[in-house]
């Protein structure tokens, strides 16, 4: 089921994982084994959740990697659908 204007997974990560635990970006990045810059980029919506990051998040926050990847997919698909009319695609059919 498609969500209307889903939040970026970084926003979800900040609001539902980091803030309730009073984690700083630096502390969370250290726990995840990534750089502060990499985590900050996700939290600020500049980059998406990769499969590896999804696994790291699932291990750190006792969630599923699939849930993180699904959030990213829904976010990406919603933004791609917004540009549907500007795409130049010819419909193909069997002869």
The CATH class of 9-86 is mainly alpha
**Residues contacting 7, CB < 8 A, separation 6+:** 71, 75
Is the predicted pLDDT of residue 1 greater than 80, yes or no? no
Q: Which one, of 6, 17, 39, lies nearest residue 52 by Cα?
A: 39
Q: What is the pLDDT of residue 58?
A: 98
Q: What is the pLDDT of residue 4?
A: 83
> pTM, whole model, 2 decimals?
0.89
Domain segments of the chain as ranges = 9-86
Looking at every residue in the chain, the average pLDDT score rounds to: 95
What are the tens digits of pLDDT across the range 23-32?
A: 999 999 999 9
């Amino acid at each position: 089921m498609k969500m209307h204007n889903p939040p970026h997974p970084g926003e979800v990560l900040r609001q539902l994982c980091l803030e309730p635990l009073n984690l700083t970006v630096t502390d969370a990045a250290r726990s995840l084994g990534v750089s502060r810059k990499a985590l900050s980029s996700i939290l600020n919506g500049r980059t998406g959740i990769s499969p590896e990051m999804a696994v790291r998040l699932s291990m750190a926050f006792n969630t599923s990697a699939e849930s993180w990847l699904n959030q990213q997919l829904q976010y990406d698909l919603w933004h791609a659908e917004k540009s549907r009319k500007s795409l130049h695609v010819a419909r193909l059919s069997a002869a």
